């Protein structure tokens, strides 16, 4: 039986595969262009290594691990690594990521590479670049893009070879930010004047939202801000993306929250409030993130690690915050 090649040899194959892949991407992107895309050359010395900030500056923030078809144990290690990284336990995060990376998980290789790029030692950052190259060669799309910024390095981490937990110096933790001071939500009397000024046929739907929102533990002022931005209290509204009714539920969201008749105002509002409650829990009461997810989907917020860079979504979030005025959802509302 043929023995598998050693990991170092596989790493070299990975770099060769990534060079080929990047060349194909560059050729596709530069078709018809006046000048060819630049060719990336491997950089094998620590002297040419970018600083941690330069190496990671152009990379998007890391969100929660995506759902994949990988073995459940690999997914658990990656999720445990992400949770540890969020708590600032970088050595534990590296151990979990490396455990999955040894079994060929490209997601784990990518996340371990990103973590190593932030190390304060040159060798660690070289290993981070090597890990990104491995993940890219395995078809990880974000790793392919990352390698375009970081380049390559010939430095296989010991943890992949031996299974030993990574050991490295951890930067001093920054001072904990001060607890956010709760900002005042738009006053109730201001919202009541807003409702009173609506045309009668729309005022009734604003009052419906006002009545139902507390049953879902949603501040009705936030719910009104969403309904105003979504349909301007028009129960017959239909968007180009087939979002329907007062809260503009797309068919998938309507089905997800049990709305059978999306043009029934009360059913539509109940479905929208259920979704808002779920988003507020998902994003720890962050009004901007919950609003962005309502507009673009929670997957987009996770993918971009915050408010997606879509003009429509950014304008939408701005409208919600301008109405509600506070960055954090308040429950129960304080009069």
* Alpha carbons 88 and 252: distance in angstroms, whole number: 37
Task: Output the DSSP codes for 196-213.
Answer: HTS-HHHHHHHHHHHHHG
pLDDT at 126: 92
* Closest CA relative to residue 218, chosen from 335, 334, 297, 332: 332
Which residues make beta-bridge pairs with 238?
Answer: 244
- Ranking 57-71, 133-147, 165-179, 299-313 by mean pLDDT, the lowest is 165-179
Residue 230 designated active-site: yes
- Ranking 117-126, 254-263, 312-321 by mean pLDDT, the lowest is 117-126
Q: Is the pLDDT of residue 177 over 70?
A: no
Q: Which of 183, 230, 266, 312 is catalytic?
A: 230
246, 213 Cβ separation under 8 angstroms: no
* Alpha carbons 197 and 66: distance in angstroms, whole number: 45
Task: Please enumerate in sequence order all residues whose Cβ is within 8 A of that of 55, keeping only pairs 6 or more positions apart, or say none.
Answer: 49, 117, 125, 128, 129, 149, 150
Please list the alpha-helical segments (H only) found in the chain: 7-29, 52-56, 72-86, 90-101, 106-117, 122-137, 141-150, 158-162, 188-196, 200-212, 220-230, 251-256, 265-282, 287-296, 298-304, 311-324
Angle of helix 72-86 relative to helix 90-101, nearest 10 degrees, comes to 160
Evaluate if pTM is beyond 0.95. Answer: no
pLDDT at 32: 38
* More reliable by pLDDT, 117 or 33: 117
pLDDT at 178: 44
* Alpha carbons 181 and 46: distance in angstroms, whole number: 44
* Closest CA relative to residue 297, chosen from 327, 318, 275: 275
pLDDT at 115: 93
* Alpha carbons 126 and 164: distance in angstroms, whole number: 18
All domains in the chain, ordered by first residue: 7-24+42-162 (no CATH), 188-324 (1.10.530.10)
For 5-33, the pLDDT digits (tens) are 444 444 445 444 444 444 433 333 344 33
82, 64 Cβ separation under 8 angstroms: yes
Max CA separation in the chain (angstroms): 81
Task: Please enumerate in sequence order all residues whose Cβ is within 8 A of that of 238, keeping only pairs 6 or more positions apart, or say none.
Answer: 244
Query: Residues 93-122, buried b or exposed e (16+ Cβ, 10 A)?
Result: bbbbbbbbbbeebbbbbbbbbbbbbbbeee
Task: Please enumerate in sequence order all residues whose Cβ is within 8 A of that of 167, keeping only pairs 6 or more positions apart, or say none.
Answer: 91
pLDDT at 155: 87
């Amino acid at each position: 039986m043929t023995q598998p090649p050693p990991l170092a040899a596989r790493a070299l194959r990975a770099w060769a595969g990534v060079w080929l892949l990047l060349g194909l991407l560059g050729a596709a992107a530069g078709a018809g262009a006046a000048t060819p895309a630049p060719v990336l050359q491997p950089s094998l010395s620590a002297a040419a290594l970018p600083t941690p900030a330069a190496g990671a500056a152009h990379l998007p923030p890391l969100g929660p691990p995506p759902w994949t078809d990988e073995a459940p144990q690999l997914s658990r290690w990656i999720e445990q690594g992400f949770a540890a990284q969020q708590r600032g336990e970088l050595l534990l995060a590296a151990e979990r990521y490396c455990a999955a990376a040894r079994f060929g998980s490209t997601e784990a290789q990518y996340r371990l590479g990103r973590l190593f790029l932030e190390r304060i030692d040159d060798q660690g950052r070289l290993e981070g670049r090597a890990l990104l190259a491995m993940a890219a060669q395995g078809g990880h799309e974000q790793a392919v893009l990352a390698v375009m910024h970081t380049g390559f390095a010939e430095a296989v981490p010991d943890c992949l070879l031996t299974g030993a937990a990574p050991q490295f110096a951890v930067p001093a933790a920054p001072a904990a930010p001060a607890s956010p001071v709760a900002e005042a939500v738009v006053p109730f009397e201001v919202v009541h004047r807003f409702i009173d000024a609506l045309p009668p046929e729309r005022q009734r739907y604003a009052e419906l939202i006002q009545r139902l929102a507390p049953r879902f533990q949603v501040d009705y002022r936030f719910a009104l801000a969403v309904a105003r931005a979504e349909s301007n209290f028009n129960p017959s509204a239909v968007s180009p993306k087939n979002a329907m009714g007062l809260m503009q539920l797309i068919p998938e969201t309507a089905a997800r929250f049990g709305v059978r008749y999306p043009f029934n105002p009360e059913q539509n509002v109940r479905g929208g409030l259920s979704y808002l409650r779920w988003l507020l829990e998902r994003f720890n009461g962050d009004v901007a993130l919950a609003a962005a997810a309502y507009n673009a989907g929670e997957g987009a917020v996770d993918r971009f690690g915050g408010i997606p860079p879509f003009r429509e979504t950014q304008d939408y979030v701005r409208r919600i915050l301008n109405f509600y005025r506070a960055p954090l959802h308040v429950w129960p509302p304080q009069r």
